[in-house]
Amino acid sequence: MKQDLFVIPHEWLSIPVFGWGWLLMAWAIASVVLLAVQWRRHRSLGDVLQAVPMLMAVAVVIVVVLPWLEATTPAGQPIGLPIRGYGVMLLLAVLSGVGLAARQARQMGIHPDVIYSLAFWVFVGGIAGARSFYIVLYWDQFQRDSVWATIVAMLNVIPGGLVVYGSLIGALLAGGLFLRLRRLPVLALADLVTPSLLLGLALGRIGCLLNGCCFGGVCYQPGWSLRFPESSPPYAHQRAHGQLHGFHIAAAGEGDRPEVRAIEPGGPAESAGLEWGAVILAVDGRDVAEFAQTANQLSVAGPRLHLETDRGPVTISLDALPARSRPVHPVQLYSAINAALLSLLMWAWYPFRRRDGELFAALLVLYPITRFLLELIRADEPGRLQTDLTISQWVSCGLLVLAVGLWIYLIRQPAGSVLPRPATGSNPADSP
């Protein structure tokens, strides 16, 4: 886990790096060079102006967003911009995915500028979808004393808080809209970018590992587990669920009292006499009526923990809370390997596709299945809709239904693809 890689200082030579400073000057020079190159290549004012919105959007980010993201002292003085491991891997995921798609597009007779424009729409839609999905699932984490403070919390994606399936849905909607507006072949382009999407996902999951999110359940297999530091999400999760004291609580339903669902063999909870299935009534002298209250109390409990249960009082004593979490499955690495293998499979399959849309339809089958299985060993998501299935497992089931419909549609289409384009004639993907 490495949330902060380094910090870019607020000033250099008494001039701010962000806002109206060095970075904006560098971007202005780069933008002029880029527009000049575009003009030299195309000799078309329309092609040059097409790049202006993206260049302006980046400038707005430099002037408005980056100064807002800078770390500050307790007195409010800016220190600099912390470069998060999660953000770096997200950037690498975008650059790698776009680069791979542009290379494939060039080979198929499509101008790479089409991919660059599509990538902008997909990136914005993906981030918006991923964040919106997370906000809906964890709305209570974003509620503040004022509307503005709530909005700020919702927009702050640097520490994490993105959902892959939300990103997929947002990216598909934005990308589909772009392709329809440009009258480009939707299924053919979907096939082309499928390996790139999976490559970006593989790199993004490494960012999850650096951030400590999307973690797995407890694992005691030597060589197959990771321990996270005290400041990490896995540590906080385990502490709030009693796992640092040798047991695990869960609730049958929302608002229900928590029950002891697991006890570590030979652990401190078993030694103290805690029984499986016991209902927690109080933690360290404070009555608890539902799961959330119990988790809150456990999250601040010390090495000595006193529980009142429906089967009697239990006191669990540790010499000290551990410095690191219990060993957990490195699900982030499993997910990265899974996405990388799927990307290689789609890349190898691409030349042998019989109809446009086959790769994308295969993605809608294979990824939901693997994601459903990976969710079984993740511990960061609770069950939804009064079941043990997480929201990602429910979405996986929905995507599988969608995939069946898409495959039925594709099978009824004649074999062949609009790509690669014929040597004569025109193709709607011909122009950038």
Place of tokens 């928590």: 258
The model's pLDDT over 400-428, given as tens digits with 9 standing for 90+, comes to 999 999 999 999 988 888 876 444 444 44
Local structure of residue 330 (DSSP, 8 states) = -
Q: What is the mean pLDDT of residues 9-24?
A: 91
- pLDDT tens-place string over residues 133-172: 888 877 777 778 887 878 777 777 656 677 777 888 888 8
What is the C-alpha separation between 84 and 88, in angstroms, rounded?
6
Half-sphere exposure of 273 (CA within 13 A, CB side): 9
Structure token digits, residue 63: 């002037």
Per DSSP, the residues of 69-110 read HSEE-TTS-EEEEEEEHHHHHHHHHHHHHHHHHHHHHHHTT-
Residues 6+ apart with CB under 8 A from 197: 97, 168, 171, 363
Task: Summarize pLDDT for 376-405 with one digit per residue, the tens.
Answer: 999 888 777 778 888 889 999 999 999 999
Dihedral sign computed on CA atoms, order 406, 412, 413, 415: positive
- pLDDT score at 358: 93
Grade residue 114 by pLDDT with cuts at 50, 70 and 90: confident
Statement: residue 73 has pLDDT above 70: yes
Whether the Cβ atoms of residue 293 and residue 268 lie closer than 8 Å to each other: no
Query: With contact defined as beta carbons under 8 Å apart, do 87 and 127 qualify?
Result: no
Q: What pTM does this model have?
A: 0.79
Domains of the chain: 85-216+330-411 (no CATH), 233-317 (2.30.42.10)
φ, ψ of residue 300 in degrees (nearest 5):
-115, 5
* pLDDT for the residue numbered 252: 59
Q: Tell me, what's the pLDDT at 432?
A: 44
pLDDT tens digit sequence for 192-201: 999 999 999 9
DSSP string, 22-81: HHHHHHHHHHHHHHHHHHHHH--HHHHHHTHHHHHHHHHIIIIIHHHHSEE-TTS-EEEE
CB of 336 within 8 A of CB of 202? yes
What is the model's pLDDT at position 157? Answer: 66
Please report, rounded to a whole number, the percentage of residues in the chain having pLDDT higher than 70.
94
**d(Cα 406, Cα 391) in Å, to the nearest integer?**
22
The closest alpha carbon to 5, from 67, 92, 110, belongs to 92
Give the distance from CA 376 to its chain's centroid: 18
pLDDT of residue 423: 41
* C-alpha radius of gyration, the chain, whole number: 25
What share of the chain in percent tops pLDDT 90? 45
Query: What is the residue whose two structure tokens read 């959007």?
Result: 57
Residue 430: the pLDDT is 46
Indicate if the pLDDT at residue 75 is higher than 70.
yes
Q: What is the pLDDT of residue 229?
A: 93
Contact 67, 18 (CB under 8 A): yes
Q: Are residues 214 and 205 in contact, defined by beta-carbon separation less than 8 angstroms?
A: yes
- Summarised one tens digit per residue, pLDDT across range 200-241 is 999 999 999 998 888 999 887 777 889 999 989 999 999 999
Residue whose structure tokens are 């502490």: 239
Span 82-106, average pLDDT: 89
Are 204 and 165 within 8 A, CB to CB? no
The overall average pLDDT reported for the chain is 86
For residue 411, report the phi and psi dihedrals to the nearest 5 degrees: -60, -30
Question: Strand, helix or coil at 228?
Answer: coil
Do 90 and 204 touch, CB atoms closer than 8 A? yes
Take residue 81 and report the two structure tokens written for it.
């911009």
d(CA 368, CA 219) in angstroms, rounded, equals 24
Sequence-distant (≥ 6) Cβ neighbours of residue 366 within 8 angstroms: 342, 345
- What pLDDT, in 10s, does the model give residues 310-357? 999 999 999 999 999 999 999 999 999 999 999 999 999 998 989 999
Q: Which helix (H) or strand (E) holds 187?
A: helix 186-211
Mean pLDDT for the stretch of residues 35-50: 76
| Whole-number pLDDT of residue 159 | 60
d(CA 309, CA 179): 59
Q: What confidence tens digit (pLDDT) does each residue in 276-292 have? A: 989 999 999 999 888 88
Burial grade of 77 (CB within 10 A; 0-12, 13-18, 19 or more): exposed
Are 134 and 161 within 8 A, CB to CB? Answer: yes
Measured distance CA(274)–CA(246) in Å, rounded = 10
CA neighbor of 101 nearest in space, from 189, 171, 204, 206: 189
Burial label, 383 (beta-carbon count in 10 A; 0-12, 13-18, 19+): middle
